[in-house]
Amino acid sequence: MTDALVVGAGCSGLAAALSLRRAGVRVRVLEARDRVGGRVLTRWLADGTQLDLGAQWIGPTQHLVNALVDRYGLATFPSAAYGASVVVWEGARRRTEPPGAARVLDLLDTYAARLDPAAPWTAPEAARWDRTTLGDWLAATAPDPVTARYLGRLLAGGLLAVSPDQVSLLALASYLASGGGTSSLLPTTGGAQQDRIVGGPAALAEAMAAALGPEVVRWGAPVVAIEHDEAGVVAHTDVGRFEAAAVVVAVPPALAGRIRYAPALPALRDGLTQRMPMGSAWKTHAVYPEPFWRADGLSGVASCAEGPVTETVDSGTPTSSRGVLTAFSYGAQANALRRMSGPARRDALLDALATVVGPAARQPDEVIEYDWSADPWTRGCFCGVLTPGSLSEYGPYLRAPVGRIHWAGTETATRWAGYLDGAVQAGERAAAELLAGL
Amino acid sequence: MTDALVVGAGCSGLAAALSLRRAGVRVRVLEARDRVGGRVLTRWLADGTQLDLGAQWIGPTQHLVNALVDRYGLATFPSAAYGASVVVWEGARRRTEPPGAARVLDLLDTYAARLDPAAPWTAPEAARWDRTTLGDWLAATAPDPVTARYLGRLLAGGLLAVSPDQVSLLALASYLASGGGTSSLLPTTGGAQQDRIVGGPAALAEAMAAALGPEVVRWGAPVVAIEHDEAGVVAHTDVGRFEAAAVVVAVPPALAGRIRYAPALPALRDGLTQRMPMGSAWKTHAVYPEPFWRADGLSGVASCAEGPVTETVDSGTPTSSRGVLTAFSYGAQANALRRMSGPARRDALLDALATVVGPAARQPDEVIEYDWSADPWTRGCFCGVLTPGSLSEYGPYLRAPVGRIHWAGTETATRWAGYLDGAVQAGERAAAELLAGL
């Protein structure tokens, strides 16, 4: 009998397994796929150019993930930042944000500072802020509609991959609190998009799995049911049943809700999983012979208040001469792209890139997409987002263990939730909880 | 090989199976429980008093369900209506609604009249109305906060069992359109709460199952996976695998999303099931030696703009001398009750009933509750409700078949969605779709 099980070999599950192993617990990680990493995935072009199809960056205050990068001797490199960033609003490419944006971001940071990211529902304003969508709040607070639309896309989209009307002010402010505020979350240099890992975050996941050893991760083993009682747990998978004293479930809440539990989970825990859909992002890598925008003094970084693409970045690497421009679309825009034919989507995306870096964007060598919403073992990205009104009501059930079942996954982190760092924190916290209960 | 499978023996699945059988198709209904009826369940007290723990009523324009009641020779009786109804607002029991309510309901009916309940997302106002929560719209539209709160509870709660901030104006107006407007949905006499079935709606489900015959429903057979391709479907259950040419899935979207499909369902269909949580209702039957409120000229029917209970009704039956007062709580209020200890909840509920019918309400013989949110094969009631922003975005995927998989359940009805009648309509429509594709 294994002492503990972990469901899901993403970075959160692997972090949990490593913590458990370090404490002397025998552990088995049950993974649906034939790879580790969950929402991280590296694609290598024929010439060796690295594309990060899922999670891409680590930031300077993400201490847990940086410590793992050091421990496993992985190399990092700074995100490309060679020229000027642009902002697209009211039909034109500009060098500055809409003028009222900074003040609204400051106000949001003061809201975030009033929240405990481990229990945002305890704030006096919680119920009121949870009833208000970010979109409504911005419409009432921003000095003009352009600023409201720009910030709605930047924040709801760029941080959570949803439309501004699909997240409450409370959930957004709580996310800001978890990541150290807008000055920590939004920038490239000095912020959450500062650095990248050679080999991508997938290299970190692989190093974590290698540290666990060859017998620990069981492949092709989606957990379809968990029986649990005071004596232990039994997980049922496609490749048999696994018994243990306890389990860490390290998949997103929406997917955790699809596992069949016996006895059934309490109403409010189940209700949480019904109300935390995955974000909806569409991430496109357009690959060019060279990063032609740099010669024009452009960084390739853009934020767009209109059009199908909300953000672009230069995803080039120091070891490749090719130019990689990455476009992010969110919420309704991502779904609109999803509904298009491949050629129509390609045209729409390349048109948007041309607005940012000029017409040469229309001639890529390759366009690489990966739809995490179509992947049955992830079903959306970046992460699960509680619907308006749900964080204040169901938030307390996000982390609370149910008997011998503990919950990990970046959604359950209290610091850097939604990021690799949060995945690690959540895994280590769930492991500590499990150990305390053994 | 069975020609068609139906997942779920609620009224929708049974209606689908009956339609398929009538067309000469061999059909097998796979049911997780050991009973039919899904969200309908009758409890009989020792003295023979009938309590409807789930769905309770049928209305005069619900032609499909009335036709079934006639076909199976079931008896009905009118809902008890002996005296004056009351409305609780601003701390007092009154005989009238807040004065501005009627005008706001009229306005909502004009909105509903502009929607096609089969495709509310096609209305010019759809995106805008879907971004607006009912709560926000009422706050901006009702003449005063009391009216806004009263109507929010009456509509979001009474119709959908959610808080007013958890449903969009579009989803609410679409629901009104589906049920014929507020004058059809809200009243007892002449409306959706007019009549009851002797034996409860469970008697109807049992009659439908009996008409199918003894070999058709397979008990204890929760469908955990569905394989599907151009040749047919295979459903995997606890009691083996079942093959057929096609399948009707007749469980709520939130639960349909928990089935594992191979190949996996498209991103936007899966996204729908992530965004349609079940409502959260708490229904309590307080049983008394007699319906004492009738002697005071009270009907037992109340609508409350404040407190833990939103609605009460007299659920007495003509054949029992006992008094049955039924209290409904919704959304945040239902969850608050769910978090209480049993004795604390009983006190809170009986206090609320005392406000409506007087202090004798505090001395019931019995208090009967059933928590549908805790039931793993229903997980909430009355029905699934798309979160704000989701109906316009994901609505088209509610009914669209995926290959040989067809979707039923009252949530997919275009008339009387959320009601028994809608369950029947949805089942019959899905069966017709399936037949057309054979």
Using the predicted structure, report yes or no on whether residue B1 has a pLDDT greater than 80.
no
Binding residues of A: 12, 31-32, 223, 328, 411
ipTM, interface predicted TM-score of the complex: 0.97
What is the C-alpha to C-alpha distance for residues B294 and B300, in angstroms, rounded to an integer? Answer: 8
Binding residues of A for substrate: 328
* Yes or no, beta carbons of A271 and B254 under 8 Å apart: no
Place of tokens 């690959």: A287
8 A C-beta contact, residue B413 and residue B178: yes
- Residues of chain B whose beta carbon is less than 8 angstroms from a beta carbon of chain A are 130-131, 133, 135-136, 163, 165-166, 222, 224-225, 254, 257-258, 260-261, 264, 266-268, 270-271, 274-275, 277-278, 280, 331-332, 335, 338-339, 371, 373-376, 379-380, 387-390, 393-394
**Taking CA A365 as the corner, what is the angle to CA A360 and CA A371, rounded to the nearest 5 degrees?**
105
From the CA of A276, how many Å to the nearest CA of chain B? 7
* Yes or no, beta carbons of B268 and A338 under 8 Å apart: yes
Strands (E), B203-345: 217-218, 223-229, 232-237, 240-244, 246-249, 260-262, 281-288, 298-304, 311-314, 323-330
* Yes or no, beta carbons of A335 and B271 under 8 Å apart: yes
Radius of gyration of chain B (CA): 21
Chain A: residue whose CA lies nearest to B129: A165
Least confident of A84-93, B66-75, B261-270: A84-93
* Yes or no, beta carbons of B270 and A379 under 8 Å apart: yes
* Per-residue model confidence (pLDDT) at position B2: 78
Using the predicted structure, report yes or no on whether residue A24 has a pLDDT greater than 90.
yes
* Per-residue model confidence (pLDDT) at position B131: 92
Return the number of CB contacts < 8 Å for A and B.
122
* Yes or no, beta carbons of B267 and A224 under 8 Å apart: no
* Yes or no, beta carbons of B387 and A338 under 8 Å apart: no
Q: Which residues of A touch B278 (CB under 8 A)?
A: 271, 274
Average pLDDT of span B178-200:
95
What is the C-alpha to C-alpha distance for residues B376 and A153, in angstroms, rounded to an integer? Answer: 37
Phi, psi of A379 (to 5 degrees): 70, 25
* Yes or no, beta carbons of A335 and B393 under 8 Å apart: yes
Chain B: residue whose CA lies nearest to A134: B131
From the CA of A165, how many Å to the nearest CA of chain B? 6
Residue from B137, B138, B165, B251 to probe the interface with A (highest A Cβ count within 10 Å): B165
List A6's β-bridge partners, or say none.
A29, A248
Q: Which residues of B touch A136 (CB under 8 A)?
A: 136
Q: Which of B163, B271, B374 has its CB closest to that of A373? A: B271
What is the C-alpha to C-alpha distance for residues A389 and A130, in angstroms, rounded to an integer? Answer: 5
* Yes or no, beta carbons of B374 and A275 under 8 Å apart: no
* Per-residue model confidence (pLDDT) at position B105: 98
End-to-end CA distance of chain B: 14
Tell me what percent of the residues of chain B surpass a pLDDT of 70: 100
B/e letters for A28-65, b = 16+ CB within 10 Å, e = fewer, are bbbbbbeebbbbbbbeebeeebbbbbbbbbbbebbebb
Phi, psi of A353 (to 5 degrees): -65, -35
Q: What is the pLDDT of residues A59-90, one digit of tens each?
A: 999 999 999 999 999 999 999 988 999 999 99
8 A C-beta contact, residue A287 and residue A365: yes
Residue from A227, A274, A283, A345 to probe the interface with B (highest B Cβ count within 10 Å): A274
Using the predicted structure, report yes or no on whether residue B171 has a pLDDT greater than 80.
yes
Residue from B121, B134, B274, B393 to probe the interface with A (highest A Cβ count within 10 Å): B274
Q: Which residues of B touch A266 (CB under 8 A)?
A: 374
Q: What is the pLDDT of residues B339-382, one digit of tens each?
A: 999 999 999 999 999 999 999 999 999 999 999 999 999 999 99
Average pLDDT of span A266-290:
98
* Yes or no, beta carbons of A388 and B163 under 8 Å apart: no
From the CA of A373, how many Å to the nearest CA of chain B? 5
* Per-residue model confidence (pLDDT) at position A81: 84
Mean of pLDDT over chain A:
97
- Whole-Å CA distances, A138 to A134, A148, A174, A267: 6, 5, 16, 34
What is the C-alpha to C-alpha distance for residues A234 and A224, in angstroms, rounded to an integer? Answer: 11
Chain B: residue whose CA lies nearest to A393: B332
Q: Residue B219, SS3?
A: coil
- Residues of chain A whose beta carbon is less than 8 angstroms from a beta carbon of chain B are 130-131, 133, 135-136, 163, 165-166, 222, 224-225, 254, 257-258, 260-261, 264, 266-268, 270-271, 274-275, 277-278, 280, 331-332, 335, 338-339, 371, 373-376, 379-380, 387-390, 393-394
Q: Which of A222, A332, A371 has its CB closest to that of B393? A: A332
- Whole-Å CA distances, A349 to A284, A327, A373: 8, 8, 18
* Yes or no, beta carbons of A274 and B260 under 8 Å apart: no
Binding residues of B for substrate: 328
Chain centroid to CA A128: how far? Answer: 26
DSSP assignment, residue B378?
T
Average pLDDT of span A99-113:
97
Average pLDDT of span B190-213:
97
Place of tokens 């390349």: A350
Concatenated DSSP letters of A188-201: STTSTTSEEETT-H
Give the other-Cβ count within 10 Å of A389's Cβ.
29
Chain centroid to CA A420: how far? Answer: 7
Q: Which residues of B touch A226 (CB under 8 A)?
A: none
Average pLDDT of span B312-338:
97
From the CA of A124, how many Å to the nearest CA of chain B? 16
Q: Which residues contact B313 (CB under 8 A, 6 or more apart)?
A: B79, B80, B188, B193, B300, B301, B325, B326, B328
* Per-residue model confidence (pLDDT) at position A1: 66
Q: Which residues contact B315 (CB under 8 A, 6 or more apart)?
A: B51, B52, B56, B79, B80, B285, B324, B325, B326
Chain A: residue whose CA lies nearest to B262: A376
8 A C-beta contact, residue B247 and residue B403: no
Domains of chain B: 2-38+201-276+387-437 (3.50.50.60), 42-62+73-83+190-198+278-374 (3.90.660.10), 100-185 (1.10.405.10)
Q: Which of A258, A374, A389 has its CB closest to that of B163? A: A389
* Yes or no, beta carbons of B280 and A266 under 8 Å apart: no
A438: closest CA among A66, A84, A1? A1
Using the predicted structure, report yes or no on whether residue A346 has a pLDDT greater than 70.
yes
Place of tokens 């009501």: A393
Phi, psi of B19 (to 5 degrees): -60, -45
8 A C-beta contact, residue A14 and residue A209: yes
Q: Tokens in use for B252? A: 């709520």
Radius of gyration of chain A (CA): 21
* Yes or no, beta carbons of B274 and A270 under 8 Å apart: no
Q: Tokens in use for A372? A: 């995490």
* Yes or no, beta carbons of B390 and A166 under 8 Å apart: yes
* Yes or no, beta carbons of A264 and B371 under 8 Å apart: no
Strand order in the sheet with A27-30: A217-218, A27-30, A4-7, A246-249, A405-407
What is the C-alpha to C-alpha distance for residues B418 and B410, in angstroms, rounded to an integer? Answer: 5
From the CA of B231, how many Å to the nearest CA of chain A? 22
From the CA of A341, how many Å to the nearest CA of chain B? 14
* Yes or no, beta carbons of A267 and B371 under 8 Å apart: yes
* Yes or no, beta carbons of A224 and B224 under 8 Å apart: yes
What is the C-alpha to C-alpha distance for residues A302 and A88, in angstroms, rounded to an integer? Answer: 7
* Per-residue model confidence (pLDDT) at position B77: 98
- Asked, as a colleague might, if the bond just before A124 is cis with ω within 30 of 0, I would say no
* Yes or no, beta carbons of B131 and A165 under 8 Å apart: yes
**How much is the pTM?**
0.97
Concatenated DSSP letters of B6-74: EE--BHHHHHHHHHHHHTT--EEEE-SSSSSBTT--EEE-TT--EEESS---B-TT-HHHHHHHHHTT-
Chain A: residue whose CA lies nearest to B267: A374
* Yes or no, beta carbons of B277 and A274 under 8 Å apart: yes
B/e letters for B305-333, b = 16+ CB within 10 Å, e = fewer, are bbbbbbbbbbbbbeebebbbbbbbbbbbb
